Amino acid sequence: MSETPLSPTIIGEVGSTEDRKISESALLRMKRLTIEELQNKLLLRVSKSELLLKNILISDSQTDRDAIEKSLDLKLTRRPSHNELRDRNILKGGEGLSPNLHEAHFNLHKQRLEDNLSRSIGNRPTKTSLVEQHILEIEQEEEQTSEE
């Protein structure tokens, strides 16, 4: 009888105990062969560092960088536009004006307003002149205190 490897389904169909012993030994030989083949393949296997050099495997730091890059891309896509920021008064000025020029323009405008307000307050008429022009009325209590 020739010794051919038998599959488990064939083993179940074999009737005699001698046939079972032969088929079991054939299975054991097949297992040994596959174990030896696997060990040989493991010995011949390319190392992780070689796979990294050939860009077949990606390093852990590369995957970290990729995750950070994806996160930044997502945040940049959600970033509000220039117009939205200007509408919400986060950015000032028009599109044609640089931020430095806009700041100088804003400071100049603020200084002009302060000067105009100071001038207006300085030119404000006194209380007595308003009473003399009959714009402001003096109450009785104020007249008595001023006479004393």
- Domains of the chain: total: 2
Is residue 57 situated within a structural domain?
Answer: no
Instruction: Please name the helix (run of DSSP H) or strand (run of DSSP E) that holds residue 36, with its range, or none.
Output: helix 17-44
Is residue 2 situated within a structural domain?
Answer: no
Whole-model pTM? 0.34
What domain range includes position 132? Answer: 80-147
Is residue 136 situated within a structural domain?
Answer: yes
Q: Same domain, yes or no, for 85 and 133? A: yes
Q: Same domain, yes or no, for 27 and 84? A: no
Angstrom distance (rounded) from CA 138 to CA 128: 10
- pLDDT average, residue stretch 19-33: 78
Is residue 54 situated within a structural domain?
Answer: no
Predicted confidence (pLDDT) at residue 16 exceeds the cutoff of 80: no
Q: Same domain, yes or no, for 94 and 140? A: yes
Is residue 33 situated within a structural domain?
Answer: yes
Is residue 71 situated within a structural domain?
Answer: no
Q: Same domain, yes or no, for 36 and 85? A: no
Is residue 1 situated within a structural domain?
Answer: no
Is residue 139 situated within a structural domain?
Answer: yes
The pLDDT tens digits of the residues spanning 120-130 come to 999 999 888 88
Angstrom distance (rounded) from CA 66 to CA 57: 14
Q: Among 44, 68, 48, which Cα is nearest to 56's?
A: 48
pLDDT band at 145 (very low <50, low <70, confident <90, very high): low
